[in-house]
Homo-oligomer: A and B are copies of this chain.
Amino acid sequence: MAVKKADRNLDINTEAKILEAARTIFHKKGYAATRTRDIAEEAGINLALLNYYFRSKEKLFDIIMLETMEGFFQSLSVVFNDTSTSLEKKVEVVTESYIDLLLAQPDIPIFLLNELRTHPSEIGEKFKMKQIIMHSVFFKQWQEATKNNKNQIPPLQFMISLMSLIMFPFVACPIIKMVGDLKQEQFNKMMVERKKLIPKWIKAIMKS
Contacts and interface: CB of A to CB of B under 8 A. Distances in A.
A134 interface: yes
Interface string A192-208: 01100100110111011
A6 interface: no
Given A118-B28, A208-B201, A178 B129 contact: yes
B113 A179 contact: no
Interface residues on A, range: 35 or more
Contacts of A157: 190, 193-194, 197
Interface stretch (A10-18, A40-48, A97-105, A165-173): A165-173
Interface of A: 28-33, 107, 110, 112-114, 116-119, 124-125, 127, 129-130, 133-134, 153-154, 156-157, 159-161, 163-165, 167-169, 171-176, 178-181, 190, 193-194, 197, 200-201, 203-205, 207-208
12 contacts: A30-B114, A107-B117, A133-B179, A154-B193, A156-B179, A157-B193, A161-B165, A168-B168, A201-B205, A201-B208, A203-B208, A204-B208
